[in-house]
Structure 1
Amino acid sequence: MTTPQRLQTVRRVQMAMAVAYGGLGAWCLLHPASVIALGFTPPYVALAANNPTTDLFARCFGAQAMTCGLVLGTSQMTAFSFTAFGLAMVPYLAWNFWFSGVGPKAGMVSGLMVVDFFGNLGFLGGSLWCARVLREVEEDEDGKRK
């Protein structure tokens, strides 16, 4: 693959992550009740139903995710920024694990949250892959300059 093709692939991965973040954030912002109903088990959905605080928190989370998607989609990402973004996914993976499997609130989230887990893995893997490609391109350019 040529350098321009590699850079275009990195940009496509970046845009896919931006669209995913922005789209899912918009869903949380515009229809938090459906996100809560799908994301949590029935006992917790019953606690959250018609709760203005839960609704507000879901909408705030959605607004932050939309902002993240906007920044991700409009930024000129570097190897360092992709690495930082990828590593920022680790706490989300820990959250998925803690609330889905082993923590004191195991069983709080529904089985559909496995999709969130794999999405976070995708963000981590995609970010680290993009960082690696950008580092390789940078090294190739440095080698040509010498």
Structure 2
Amino acid sequence: MATPQRLETVRRLQVAMATAYSTMGAWCLIHPSSVMALGFTPAYAAMCNSTTSLMMRCFGAQAMTCGLVLGTCNMTPLSFTAFGLAMVPYIGWNFWFSGIGPARGVITKLMWMDFVGNVLFGLGSLYCAKLLKEQPDEDEKQDVTAKAQ
């Protein structure tokens, strides 16, 4: 059975991930031009216009929604596992558009922070799922209690 300390660790990691998602999403929503200027190389940042600004704002709104849901939901081992695995495409995006992948030259070197963040979100989610799996759910507790009587 998971200890209260482990459950507190899960909650703290969940709140940290939710805060990071919401904060970065708010930045994209409120000031998309600075995100694009820092994230894209000059050749691509020069192509930013009102349409790309709108798309960045939409991305920010979605990230804020994800952070809100992540911060307020009672996550299960399955939901943490799904969230962690959902980071894989983002890690792939970082690889594809970085200086390593075939579409190199699109994003700046500052985007390594996005890669690190995505890896931490993925690993943190899988770690939380592992910690929660160690705690029996309510049905199992009732079965154990009924068998003991």
TM-score normalised to the size of structure 2?
A: 0.90
Partner of 1:36: 36
Equivalence map 1:53-64=2 (5 Å): 53-64=51-62
Q: Runs of at least 4 residues of structure 1 off by over 2 A? A: 141-146
Query: Equivalents in 1 of 2:122, 2:136: separation in Å?
Result: 21
Equivalence map 1:1-146=2 (5 Å): 3-48=3-48, 51-100=49-98, 101-103=100-102, 105-138=103-136, 142=140, 145=144
Query: Equivalents in 2 of 1:3, 1:92: separation in Å?
Result: 33
**Local SS of the residue matching 2:135:** helix
Q: CA deviation digits over 1:78-131, x for unaligned, max 9?
A: 00000000000000000000000222x211000000000000000000000000
Q: CA deviation digits over 1:40-70, x for unaligned, max 9?
A: 111111111xx11000000000000000000
Which is worse superposed, 21-30 or 2-11?
Answer: 2-11
**Which has the greater radius of gyration?**
2
Aligned pair count?
Answer: 141
**Local SS of the residue matching 2:136:** helix
- Which ranges in structure 1 are unaligned for 5 or more consecutive residues? none
Query: Equivalents in 2 of 1:71, 1:35: separation in Å?
Result: 23
Superposition CA RMSD, Å: 1.6
**Local SS of the residue matching 2:97:** helix
- Which ranges in structure 2 are unaligned for 5 or more consecutive residues? none
Percent identity for Structure 1 against Structure 2: 62
**Local SS of the residue matching 1:34:** helix
Query: Equivalents in 1 of 2:136, 2:96: separation in Å?
Result: 38
Query: Equivalents in 2 of 1:41, 1:138: separation in Å?
Result: 49
